[in-house]
Structure 1
Amino acid sequence: MAERKNIAGTSPYEPIIGFSRAVKIGNVVHVSGTGPVGAEEASPADQTRATLKIIEAALTQAGATFADVVRTRMYLTHTEDWEEIGRTHGEVFGEIRPASTMVVVKELLNPLWRIEIEAEAILP
Structure 2
Amino acid sequence: MSNQDLKRQLINPPQTQVLYDTYHFSQANRVGNIVWVSGQVGIDANFAPGADITEQSHLAFQALRNILEEAGGSLADVVELITFHTDLQGEVHAFGQVKDEYFPDRYPAWSAVGVTQLSLPQLRVEVRAVAVIGSGKA
Distance 1:14 1:58, change over 3 A: same
Residue 56 of structure 2: aligned partner: 47
Provide the aligned length of Structure 1 versus Structure 2: 124
- C-alpha distance 94-6 of structure 1, shift in aligned 2 (>3 A): same
Shift of 1:8: 1.3
Letter in 2 for 1:16: T
Asked whether the 8 Å contact 2:43–2:50 carries over to 1, the reply is no
Q: Where do 5+ consecutive residues of structure 1 fail to align?
A: none
Partner of 2:77: 68
Query: Structure 1 residue 16: deviation in Å?
Result: 3.1
How far is the alpha carbon of 1:37 from its aligned partner?
A: 1.8
Q: Report the residue type matching 2:10 in the other structure.
A: N
Gaps of 5+ in 2: none
Which protein has the larger Cα radius of gyration, Structure 1 or Structure 2?
A: 2
Write out per-residue CA displacement over residues 66-93 of structure 1, whole angstroms, 9 at most, x where no aligned residue.
Answer: 1100000110101301110111111111
Closer/same/farther in 2, CA of residues 27 and 36 from structure 1, 3 Å limit = same
The AA in structure 2 aligned to 1:42 is A
Identity %: 29
Deviates more, 1:51-60 or 1:89-98: 89-98
1:101 to 104, 111, 122: 111
Tell me which amino acid in the other structure corresponds to 1:22. A
* 1:8 pairs with one of 5, 12, 15: 12
TM-score of the superposed pair, with normalisation by structure 2: 0.83
Q: Give 1:34 deviation, angstroms.
A: 0.9
Deviation at 1:12, TM superposition (A): 4.8
Q: One-letter code of the match for 1:21?
A: Q
The residue aligned with 2:33 is 27
Look up the equivalent residue of 2:68 and give its one-letter code. Answer: L
1:81 equivalent in alignment to 2:91:
yes
**Cα shift readout 1:28-84 (whole Å, capped 9, x = no counterpart):** 011101111225142201100001111111000100001100000110101301110
Q: Is the 8 A contact 1:11 1:37 kept in 2?
A: no
User: Which residue of the partner structure matches residue 110 of structure 1?
Assistant: 120
Cα RMSD after superposing both structures? 1.5
Give distance in 1, aligned partners of 2:68 and 2:7.
Answer: 17
